[in-house]
Chains A and B, each alone.
Chain A
Amino acid sequence: MAISAATVVPAGTRRGTTEIRKGDGKAALGFLTPGALGFLAFTLFPVVASLVMSFFDWPVLGSPSFAGFGNYVELFTTDDTFRTAILNTLLFVVLYVPINVVVSMSLAVWISPRVAGRRFYRVLFFIPAVTPMVGNAVVFSLLMTPNGLIDSTMKSLFGVGAPNFLGSSSWAMPAVVLLSVWQGFGYNLLVFSAALDAVPQHLVEAAEIDGAGTVRRFFSVVLPLLSPSIFFATVLTLISSFQVFTQSYVLTGGGPGNSTTTLVMYLYQSGFQFFRLGFASAIAWVLFVFIMVVTAIQFLGQKKWVHYDQ
């Protein structure tokens, strides 16, 4: 309950008191040092080092040599696997993000306060999001293998078996997406659910009195009020979807062929199976730039549809 009490206090009072205070330089140094040392060593330094490495031929054993833009040129001109990995990653993003957002939003609306067992459903849908992806992938490979649950259920219901999801290059990516949606949407469900709870009921009732139906009320009143959390959830979901790795690594090993090889999987293979650390760093920076550009576009576009004033 302390939270609700705390948030009511206007921001102005805080500033008033800090201005009276003198600088706390020494104390700040003491408080910041432990975190900052780790931050420098394990975040800032590696980020810079990674950029530098991407301009080198850098084997695990032996000495690095400067390569200029060599790694990047190779990636974008002659490397077919890289092109496939980019296309696969984009395909995953394009399939996964909208499905995740639509499913989590629909269920968040469905599991309204009037639904019995509301908390149970929220926790149920959230559980796969907190269990190891490897475990989830192992379970899905049992479900989707020939003679597995899906195949044998279809055989006994329709007499026709299911396609060999993991062994077919056209079904493998949908299988990876299905696993990812199943494991991930519960998180956004909680975010949307919390946002729905915060929608002022009097606005919805006012629209009802004005004659707006259920659908109209949702799209014209509720959805605009949810737009900040939709924006927020979409940005985070997009960023994480570009990093897809474990799902296809465990489920399909990137196959069949290269049909589920993603950017991060190619990065892992280049760096830690072929030991080309500079080349892997270049892939990492391509990934980073993708994420930055897409995030920047979203932030630029948000003015058009995200409403912060309530």
Chain B
Amino acid sequence: MTSDTSAHPAVRARGSRRGAVPAPTGPRSRHRGRRVVSQVLLTLVGVLFAMPLVWMVASSLKSGGEIFSTPPKLLGDRLLFSNYTQAMDYLPFARFMLNTLFVAVAGTLITLVTSALSAYAFARLRFRFREAIFLLYLGTLMVPQEVVVVPMFLIMKDLGWVNSFQALILPWAFTAFGTFLLRQFFLTIPTELEEAAKIDGAGHVRILTRVIAPIAAPAFAVLAVFTFINYWNSFLWPLIITNDVSTTTVPLGLNLFLGQNGQEWQLLMAAATISMAPTVLLVLVLQKYLVRGIALSGLGGR
């Protein structure tokens, strides 16, 4: 069963019917022939598409001389895992990973908490100017990051936050996107569920944490993953606000590495592999949530 689409009954029905299709005979076998061709072509497209990533990992295990060979060879004579330790020696990549991990986790937590609180207010509470304030939030969704980086840089400079984790985390932890995403989801949760809790004497905080949050877990998961990935991959802002190893993030470190070791491709590829591993793992583990999340909201962090 394709669980990522299971929310749709029509798809489920189609999926389960697939098993009952009788063995192909006559005109059906021609159909089947087309399907085999299609499948083979798709495999080729997949291989071609994956080539840059495969080449990256393969090159990260070669010696410098083996990187450029005609005809190209996928693997070198020996797998040099030492390229990874060597890459880590040139620049403190472990440090960069920890920095980025801290920034991404802290940023995601702040985003989740403040978005959930705001989304609850917009979805469930009645107060003056609610629609107006919400529209204001929505309006800023269209503002590109580039519009705010210049004044943001001055704010950070005035606060003495250049090269600080606050500067990497806080500016992007309050964007309207999370509030919007969670609000849309909260609106689909029937109020009858919380009426019962209210009769039992539960306040708003309890209703949010005990009734709504568990139901909205998929929406929280989607927001968390996309926020984390956005922080992890962020480039322009760290480029502007940091110039010190103590706060350098992984993408910035990779760019520094390119500048310093532009010719040592095998080390550069090892560093690139390191920079990609965490988010790739995250996606592989949480793929069900992600695919369903995109299907649900049509949104994602980009």
Contacts and interface: CB of A to CB of B under 8 A. Distances in A.
A142 B148 contact: no
B109 interface: no
B276 A131 contact: yes
A17 to B, nearest CB: 5
Interface residues of A, number: 110
A170 interface: no
Given A182-B49, A198-B8, A132 B150 contact: no
B115 A35 contact: yes
A29 to B, nearest CB: 8
A239 B145 CA distance: 11
B39 interface: yes
A38 B50 contact: no
A272 B240 contact: yes
A130 B229 CA distance: 6
Contacts of A110: 38, 42
A6 interface: yes
B148 A287 contact: no
A218 interface: no
A288 B173 CA distance: 21
Contacts of A6: 188-190, 215
Is chain B's interface secondary structure helix, strand, loop, or mixed overall? helix
A160 interface: no
Nearest 9 CB-CB pairings of A with B:
A38-B174, A194-B295, A156-B71, A49-B151, A28-B127, A46-B148, A35-B114, A35-B118, A31-B121
17 contacts: A3-B218, A6-B215, A32-B118, A39-B174, A50-B147, A119-B2, A130-B283, A142-B265, A149-B51, A190-B290, A194-B294, A197-B5, A245-B146, A245-B235, A245-B236, A267-B146, A284-B150
Interface of B: 2, 4-8, 10-11, 14-15, 18, 35, 38-39, 42, 45-46, 49-53, 55-56, 59, 67-72, 110, 113-115, 117-118, 120-121, 124-128, 130, 133, 136-137, 140, 142-155, 157, 170-176, 179, 187-192, 195, 204, 215, 218, 229, 232-233, 235-236, 239-240, 250-252, 254-255, 258, 265, 268-269, 271-272, 275-276, 279-280, 282-284, 287, 290-291, 294-296, 298, 300, 302
